[in-house]
Amino acid sequence: MTQQNQSPVLVVDFGAQYAQLIARRVREAHLYSEVVPHTATAAEIKAKNPAALILSGGPSSVYADNAPKLDPEILELGLPVFGICYGFQAMTDALGGTVAETGNREYGRTQIQVAGGVLHNGLTQTHQVWMSHGDAVTAAPEGFEVTASSEGAPVAAFENVEKHMAGVQYHPEVLHSPHGQEVLSRFLTQIAGLKPTWTAANIAEQLIEQVREQVGETGRAICGLSGGVDSAVAAALVQRAIGDRLTCVFVDHGLLRAGEREQVEQDFVAATGAKLITVDERAAFLSKLSGVTEPEAKRKAIGAEFIRSFERAVAQAMEGQQVDFLVQGTLYPDVVESGGGSGTANIKSHHNVGGLPDDVEFKLVEPLRLLFKDEVRAVGRELGLPDVIVSRQPFPGPGLGIRIIGEVTEDRLETLRAADQIAREELTTAGLDEQIWQCPVVLLADVRSVGVQGDQRTYGHPIVLRPVTSEDAMTADWVRIPYETLEKISTRITNEVAEVNRVVLDVTSKPPGTIEWE
């Protein structure tokens, strides 16, 4: 079974931010999934030979003029179908039920009353779900059993087991619907009749095989390692597939955290046996960053210099030999997001997404392009990568460069590195790593505040702790770190890091704040 011939559960994206999350939840239920735009025709959908369809939520009213329509032929393909929120209403409309503006909107936590059915059978009779709708289904299509209702949604769920179709008004994919994953799983296994076989062990095997096929018997490849999870797992997979015909390249741009270079040079190489070239480009980056304070200007300067130093390193790695393939750790969310989904504003330019110059002549090897982050981690573990690499928190390509508010200098990098190391040590000691998605530590280099230490007046810089929980970095909340841990971090940083006399905690969710400060 490979990804190419495994029938996907297709998530039809009606334009809300939830389609990707639904696709992930399907993977968590151990079935392969892909996202397709709502403009996909019945023929295009059929060509993908899907195992089932899930119609996602979306922002529109089904009766609005510009509402994304569901091609009714899609429902005649004989596939199992699950409608969620807008998808539930679109499905109702297409199958002859009634959607009406009841004037009884529901947003957020809502209670539903369960009346039975396969999806909700045995779950608490009244339970919490996450709703977000104006219109509501007032009559289910003929042949469908109504299995739940809420105050604002007389038909909050329905199913027709014989036709392998069902739907819910609420969002089962979000954590605020505590039984949501169970309901989704029941659709997939009991109503659609699918067997959950998508697991890390067989994903790794399949991917190695695919890389072998793509690169062939003699092809050579290079891979830039960033110290992050994705490039490490991609490189490890390709190394398994083609051995020494892969050369890994690591650019030390000086914007790394303490210990990161060693992690790549020692731990990664020890675990994989990969051939690695490290280039020390710290001076070049610092000189390009001199005098630069504006966040996007910093990103551009770092991105441009990165490409140049990477090219120099590649020339060195190639040693006059032909290298045809460039390995990249692109993940499925990048693929979906760059695949066009309309209306996504470019909030920050992420230099490592699509940042290669136009004249690059390599063919891309992207073994992770259909995986989500948690799957990448599982594959990494499967390949024997150490936990320090696999469980690593996301770290931005421009590194500490965008965590120093103000000009980046060597001294400031040293200050931030020391504070960051202390925060990381204490969070790990407190056992909080699992709970925290990432914790940027930020140096407000352009701000000073007055303090007192040992009878001396100080005039130092604040350090900001920005611990967040998140599922995909699109939204985030701040982590309620225990006071004792905060106290330890604060005491250690102010005692051990010269120049820092204040530690503050960022208690802003995303939105409105982004995760990084720049």
Q: How many residues make contact with ligand XMP (CB under 6 A)? A: 16
Which of 3, 17, 475, 514 contacts ligand XMP by CB under 6 A? 514
> What's the rounded Cα separation, in Å, for the pair 404 and 383?
35
Catalytic residue among 133, 164, 171, 253: 171
By CB under 6 A, tell whether 167 contacts ligand XMP.
no
Give the chain's largest Cα–Cα span. Answer: 81
CA atoms in the 13 A half-sphere facing the CB of 136: 20
Q: 32 vs 250, which CB is nearer to ligand XMP?
A: 250
Which of 154, 386, 394, 406 contacts ligand XMP by CB under 6 A? 394
By CB under 6 A, tell whether 61 contacts ligand XMP.
no
Q: 67 vs 441, which CB is nearer to ligand XMP?
A: 441
Which of 299, 392, 461, 502 contacts ligand XMP by CB under 6 A? 299
Number of neighbouring beta carbons within 10 Å of residue 433 = 15
Which among 185-193, 288-296, 381-389, 396-404 is the span making contact with ligand XMP, rule CB under 6 A? Answer: 396-404
- Shortest Å, Cβ 179 to ligand XMP: 29
By CB under 6 A, tell whether 396 contacts ligand XMP.
yes
By CB under 6 A, tell whether 304 contacts ligand XMP.
no
Known catalytic membership, residue 85: yes
> What's the rounded Cα separation, in Å, for the pair 445 and 463?
9
By CB under 6 A, tell whether 475 contacts ligand XMP.
no
Indicate the annotated binding residues for ATP. Answer: 226-232
Per DSSP, 74 falls in state G
Three-state SS string over 191-212 comes to HCCCCCCCCHHHHHHHHHHHHH
By CB under 6 A, tell whether 348 contacts ligand XMP.
yes
By CB under 6 A, tell whether 472 contacts ligand XMP.
no
Contacts of 367 (CB under 8 A, 6+ apart): 207, 210, 211, 234, 237, 238, 327
Of 470, 492, 498, residue with least CA distance to 21: 470
Helical segments of 243-399, H only: 260-262, 269-272, 282-289, 295-318, 332-338, 373-382, 387-390
Which of 169, 352, 421, 494 contacts ligand XMP by CB under 6 A? 352
- Shortest Å, Cβ 473 to ligand XMP: 4
By CB under 6 A, tell whether 417 contacts ligand XMP.
no
Catalytic residue among 28, 38, 85, 260: 85
Q: 272 vs 438, which CB is nearer to ligand XMP?
A: 438
The β-bridge relationship of strands 81-84 and 165-168 is parallel
Known catalytic membership, residue 173: yes
Which of 42, 123, 473, 505 contacts ligand XMP by CB under 6 A? 473
> What's the rounded Cα separation, in Å, for the pair 394 and 486?
21
Are 26 and 46 in contact by the 8 Å Cβ rule? The answer is: no
In this structure, what token pair is assigned to residue 229?
């999870």
- Shortest Å, Cβ 487 to ligand XMP: 26
By CB under 6 A, tell whether 438 contacts ligand XMP.
yes
| DSSP-assigned states of every residue in 133-177 | ESSEEEEPPTTPEEEEE-SS-S-SEEEETTTTEEEESS-TTSTTS
Site of interaction with ligand XMP (CB under 6 A): 299, 347-348, 350-352, 394, 396-398, 438, 473, 510, 514-516
Annotated catalytic sites, by residue? 85, 171, 173
